[in-house]
Amino acid sequence: MEVTNTPQQKTLNDVQTQPVHRWAEMAFVQKTVTGFQSLLKGMRITFRYLIDQKTVVTQQYPENRETLKLAERVRAQLELIHDEKGFHKCTSCHICEEACPNASIHVIDRKTPAVSKTELDHFIWRMDSCTFCNLCVMVCPFSCLKMNSQFESSVFDQRLLVYNLTKYAGPTSVALAKLPDDESRQKAIEPRTAYEGPTSLNHYYLAGIPKDLQPQPQNSAQNSEKSENPT
Ligand code: SF4
Ligand code: SF4
């Protein structure tokens, strides 16, 4: 029986490849057009910024450090609010300390003879472990805390991220207001600095901090031993 060359038995040369080339060309053209449209869209924003500077959202930091605008919702550093006289309203109730999910706050109080009440001695905040969740700010019953926008806090030593947030040890602004004069108010308070007091790092000496501002632990022998062998 003679075998005839049926349409199903076409050779490779017979396969029509021209339509495939046409589709590839069309896809290339389509991609070029789409790419050009995207470019125009991007350039439209660029040209709009060139024409109307007020619409620019990108900030030239750090060149514009003086005029830098940050959103109100920025949470950079925890701050114990002090009024214009330098007094705070913290009653050292420890509510913020208990609310903090990762023990970044340590409130240390003391008894004061001035007003016969417990008063704040140190307010320790560990920025290195804080997650900036804002819980402490929300739970404070006296609105003593806020998250400020001071975000430039880079240091070379992790220990410098453990701060004392109160500027003084002493009564609240409310209690101080009941004292008769400024002299008695000054007597009732004791200055504190950012790096004074106990730290969460077992009283190692803090690099770059003057010796008279270094934490003074009760066991000084243990401290000197640790400062010689920092980890
Ligand atoms: S912001 Fe959150 S993690 Fe940071 S100290 Fe406050 S409660 Fe703790
Ligand atoms: S900051 Fe507020 S919540 Fe925290 S100890 Fe002071 S008064 Fe209490």
What is the per-residue pLDDT across 122-133, written as a single tens digit (0 to 9) for each? 899 999 889 999
Distance of CA 11 to CAs 18, 21, 137, 152, Å? Answer: 16, 19, 80, 74
Number of domains in the chain: 2
Domain containing 143 equals: 77-215
Q: Can you tell me which atom of ligand 2 is nearest the CA of 93? A: 8
Q: Is residue 71 part of a domain?
A: no
Same domain? For 96 and 45 the reply is no
Answer yes or no: is 175 within a domain: yes
Which residue puts its alpha carbon closest to atom 7 of ligand 2?
90
What HEC string does 117-152 produce? EEEEEEEEEECCCCCCCCHHHHHCCCCCEEEECCCC
**Ligand having the closest approach to the CA of 123:** 2
- Note the pLDDT of residue 185: 92
What tens digit of pLDDT does each residue of 34-51 get?
999 999 988 988 888 888
Q: Specify whether 100 is located in the same domain as 165.
A: yes
* Residue 92 sits in the same domain as residue 196: yes
110 within domain boundaries: yes
With beta carbons less than 8 A apart as the criterion, state whether 133 and 101 touch.
Answer: yes
Considering the domain architecture, whether residues 194 and 125 belong to the same structural domain is answered as: yes
Flag the least confident range among 3-17, 84-98, 104-118: 3-17
Q: Report the C-alpha gap between 112 and 209 in whole angstroms.
A: 29
Query: Residue 200: its pLDDT value, please?
Result: 47
Residue 4 lies in a domain: no
Residues 118, 195: one domain?
Answer: yes
CATH code at position 191 = 3.30.70.3270
Nearest CA to ligand 1 atom 6: 136
